[in-house]
Homo-oligomer: A and B are copies of this chain.
Amino acid sequence: MKKYVYYFDEGNAGMKDLLGGKGANLAEMTSLDIPVPSGFTITTEVCDVYNRNSKTYPGEVLDNVWKNLERLEKDMGKSFGDSENPLLVSVRSGAKVSMPGMMDTVLNLGLNDETVKGLIKKTKNERFAYDSYRRFINMFGDVVMGIEHRHFEEVLTKIKENKGAKYDTGLDASDLKRVVEEYKKVVKKHAGMPFPDDPKKQLKMAIDAVFNSWMGKRAVAYRRIHDIKGLLGTAVNVQAMVFGNMGNTSATGVAFTRNPSTGENKFYGEFLINAQGEDVVAGIRTPEPISKLRQEMPEAYKQLESIYKKLEAHYKDMQDIEFTIEDGKLYMLQTRTGKRTAHAAIRIAVEMEKEGLIDRNTALLRVDPNQLNQLLHKQLDHVAKQKAKIIGKGLPASPGAAVGQVVFTAERAHDLAEDGHKLILVRTETSPEDIEGMNAAQGILTARGGMTSHAAVVARGMGKCCVAGCSDIMINEGGKSFTAGGTKINELEWITLDGSEGNVYLGQVAVKDPEISGYFQTLMKWADEKRKLKVRANADTPKDSEVAIKFGAEGIGLTRTEHMFFEGDRINAVREMILAEDEAGRRKALAKIEPFQISDFIGIFRVMDNLPVTIRLLDPPLHEFLPKEEGDIREIAKELGVSAERLHNTISALHEFNPMLGFRGCRLGIVYPEIFEMQASAIIKAAIAANKSGKKALPEIEIPVVANVREIEILRDLINSTAQRLIAESGVRVSYKIGTMIELPRACVTADEIAPFVEFMSFGTNDLTQTTYGFSRDDAGKFIQKYIEAGIFEKDPFQTIDRNGVGSLMKLCIEKARGVKEMEVGICGEHGGDPDSVEFCHEIGLDYVSCSPYRVPIARLAAAQAVLKANK
């Protein structure tokens, strides 16, 4: 005969398939001789049978439940349905995988008009007993009988009004007794049947409700979205209730086996005498630190101490435990892996490895790479933050914190920063023209745009705090002010941004600098020893490059040359080039830009001595370098010495319906080869200069937006002939590579044609996601929220690589390219700093990932974890 029900001492942690996670863990604690309120688990197999047989299960199941219930009564010395010393139980679902919100818990099951008397006797607290009773009816009515919570709420509100009570606490025992009566009427009315008094009937109904919930809409959707397959169903846990509020010999508490904030190896927690578990969390009474329990209940504390040590040693991780002391007797209600800060996670992992509790691989897997973000940026002071006034909430687009005076134009930011002001640049949205201003500001706040808008991407690259798409603010640029949350903020008033949470605060809020600990360095060292993927950074300046090196980058995977086109005097030379009527005119203007490019590259090569530097040739469409607003057009025309009409004509000739799919990247190089020739020349001249000064430049010249092998053939010839001429003239050895960015589906499917002509490929997954999915980052805002709600995207495809779509094109590309010849393949999109995507990059055999300098440590750890996960 099949075993349908397991008493807690019959199972263990290895039986999660059959007992679910919760049941297996309770069994495990029981088998460790840790005092757990007794109980039993109905297996997931019963759920499977139930759902496949029109909601019925064999008669033996209930026989077994009653048999185990008898044992439970005996173990607890209480009787189910007894009016003197009643056994009450909790009923909880529990599948192999945790599915939050699938079904709520039913507590205090077993209460009725008779047993409540027993509870009063045992607790000597009539109000508590009736409060438990009315809560049980509500919970049971809602969860088991499907009556909406609001019906109970209405009754309660009315009784409170009659009594003139504002809170539930204003009701006494007799009021609550009336609530119980009224609640029963609610049940009868809405369920069409009276509230079941019989505790066994209650139990049977609760068990069936748990099984039904497995096929409920919410649970089915959850499993689909999270791709949870192959489970039999949920188990049902029936456990004796214990009470920490049975007087001064009772207590309840929560604790962590180590400090979850700092990671220090010291027992940490809180407790309350004569209280229920909820009271510790609710904040009505102030709990005592756990150390005080040693004085108040030395026996129980001693027992607790030995248990927490046993649990940590057993589970080999910091545990978050809940306990209840009922009349001097200690019970463990839960143990689970404790949540912790990034600081704590690192310290605990490193120290546990040193203690020999876990091995190094386990230590590496214990830290969530995304958490490292916290460590590497400024943070708002925890206390100061609580008191500050939030005036708006946007997207946490680039982590960190920033305090500054408000300015509305990049120019003003630049000018005032030179005078020593600390500034926050506030814009409706940013464009490449704003880069200098963004650089000059402490942080950036935009009213429009998503996590991958221009402001967000550039800010992350700069390691600068940014709150994007804050629709709460209304900017009046002309009036030099914005309003937010009913407050008007004028230019030069102070605000504070929290880029990790997306909050905008009024005034100056105290900020803490990031601190990097020795534990962090140790963990990174371990990660570096383990990982196979190289990690590079995306960096456009010598300064960014220095940050990248500091965080452990092994090269630069993407230098965006267009950012250099915007700075200072150059922009006018760029505009002159765009306005030129022939090649000679363009060459003249380009000759003015070249010296700037050369010195930019020399700076980067010197910092990145002997490390590869991938430099992408001009990428954006030319109209991005021209002004948009009438006033600017007139002014700039004057500066350039052309008529406003001429500038207008050029702007309108360059106008694009879909700039993302327009005249950009290598298409510029094909039509105006002199632009790419100048850039190639600047790169090689800079490399020659760097090499002459004793450094070793390793430029990798990258051709963007390639769709067709002929584009590469033509531009490669152009670059090679330029480079070889300059190298021959100089007599200095320079080794350089020519490669391409893979950012269009056609480049992926024709990678075998492209491969013979390149020495490296680097995935530009931002654009590849846009073209593969057919939507632009800038425009997706109109529907992406709905898409996430509808479960169309599991994850935002601009944050985590869409494995089935974009990822499968990447795999195809690598197969085709490496089928022709071995070559270096990397990734330089935003995804390069996303742990999930890094894991995918490892799986498909990339050589490196490249991300913003501040995400380099994240990528290093994620790359190490990818190795460990692949070896599992």
Contact = CB atoms under 8 A, between A and B. Distances in A.
A779 B790 CA distance: 34
Contact of A776 (B657, B710, B778, B779): B657
B790 A749 contact: no
A661 B658 contact: yes
A665 to B, nearest CB: 9
A66 interface: no
A783 B657 contact: no
A792 interface: yes
A802 B22 CA distance: 57
A839 to B, nearest CB: 20
A782 interface: yes
B746 A792 contact: no
A667 to B, nearest CB: 5
Interface stretch (A103-111, A130-138, A200-208, A804-812): A804-812
A793 interface: yes
A772 B775 contact: no
A192 interface: no
A663 interface: yes
Contacts of A767: 774
A790 B743 CA distance: 22
A656 interface: yes
A586 B746 CA distance: 40
A9 interface: no
A792 B661 contact: no
Contacts of A773: 707-708, 744, 746
Contact of A805 (B657, B660, B750, B786): B750
A770 B661 CA distance: 8
Contacts of A746: 772-774, 802, 805-806
A671 B708 contact: no
A487 B696 CA distance: 65
Given A667-B783, A771-B771, A786-B671, A776 B661 contact: yes
A714 interface: yes
Interface string A792-830: 110000000010111011001000000000000000000
Contact of A792 (B659, B662, B670): B670
A745 interface: yes
Nearest to A785: B671
Interface string A760-776: 00000001001111111
A619 interface: no
B787 A670 contact: yes
A831 to B, nearest CB: 16
A812 B192 CA distance: 57
A667 B774 CA distance: 11
Contact of A662 (B663, B771, B779, B793): B779
Contacts of A705: 774
A438 B132 CA distance: 76
Contacts of A787: 667, 670
A658 B780 CA distance: 10
Contacts of A289: none
A518 to B, nearest CB: 46
A8 to B, nearest CB: 41
Contact of A783 (B671, B792, B802): B671
A711 interface: yes
B779 A657 contact: yes
A491 interface: no
Given A750-B805, A782-B663, A809-B749, A774 B744 contact: yes
A782 B662 contact: yes
A753 interface: yes
Contacts of A194: none
A808 B670 contact: no
Nearest to A807: B749
A288 B46 CA distance: 102
Nearest to A787: B670
Nearest to A714: B790
A129 B333 CA distance: 117
A670 B783 contact: yes
Interface string A730-773: 00000000000001111001100100000000000001001111
B790 A710 contact: yes
A708 B792 contact: yes
The interface centre, meaning the residue of A711, A753, A805 with most chain B CB atoms within 10 A of its CB, is: A805
Contact of A660 (B661, B786, B808): B661
B790 A663 contact: no
Given A660-B661, A670-B783, A808-B749, A792 B711 contact: yes
B753 A772 contact: no
A630 to B, nearest CB: 15
Contacts of A783: 663, 667, 670-671
Contacts of A707: 772-775, 805
The interface centre, meaning the residue of A657, A705, A808 with most chain B CB atoms within 10 A of its CB, is: A657
Contact of A779 (B656, B670, B802): B656
A786 B774 CA distance: 26
A786 B670 contact: yes
A14 interface: no
Contact of A791 (B710, B745, B805): B710
A178 to B, nearest CB: 41
The interface centre, meaning the residue of A746, A753, A793 with most chain B CB atoms within 10 A of its CB, is: A746
The interface centre, meaning the residue of A654, A779, A805 with most chain B CB atoms within 10 A of its CB, is: A779
B658 A782 contact: no
B779 A708 contact: no
A194 B317 CA distance: 96
Interface in A659-680: 659-663, 667, 670-671
Contacts of A778: 656-658
Contacts of A792: 670, 708, 710-711, 714
A743 to B, nearest CB: 7
A252 to B, nearest CB: 44
A743 B753 CA distance: 24
A618 B773 CA distance: 19
Contacts of A660: 657-658, 661
Contacts of A667: 775, 782-783, 787
A661 to B, nearest CB: 4
A786 B666 CA distance: 12
Nearest to A809: B749
B745 A772 contact: yes
A741 to B, nearest CB: 11
A802 B753 CA distance: 14
Contacts of A791: 710
A409 B272 CA distance: 80
A661 B774 contact: yes
A805 to B, nearest CB: 4
The interface centre, meaning the residue of A705, A771, A775 with most chain B CB atoms within 10 A of its CB, is: A775
The 7 closest A-B pairs by CB, nearest first: A661-B776, A744-B774, A746-B805, A745-B745, A658-B776, A663-B782, A662-B779
26 contacts: A656-B778, A657-B776, A657-B778, A657-B779, A658-B660, A658-B776, A658-B779, A660-B661, A661-B775, A662-B776, A662-B779, A663-B779, A671-B786, A705-B774, A708-B792, A708-B793, A708-B805, A710-B790, A711-B792, A744-B773, A746-B772, A746-B802, A746-B806, A749-B772, A749-B812, A750-B804
Interface of A: 654, 656-663, 667, 670-671, 705, 707-708, 710-711, 714, 743-746, 749-750, 753, 767, 770-776, 778-779, 782-783, 786-787, 790-793, 802, 804-806, 808-809, 812
Given A744-B773, A746-B774, 7 more contacts: A657-B776, A658-B658, A661-B776, A670-B790, A707-B775, A749-B804, A749-B809
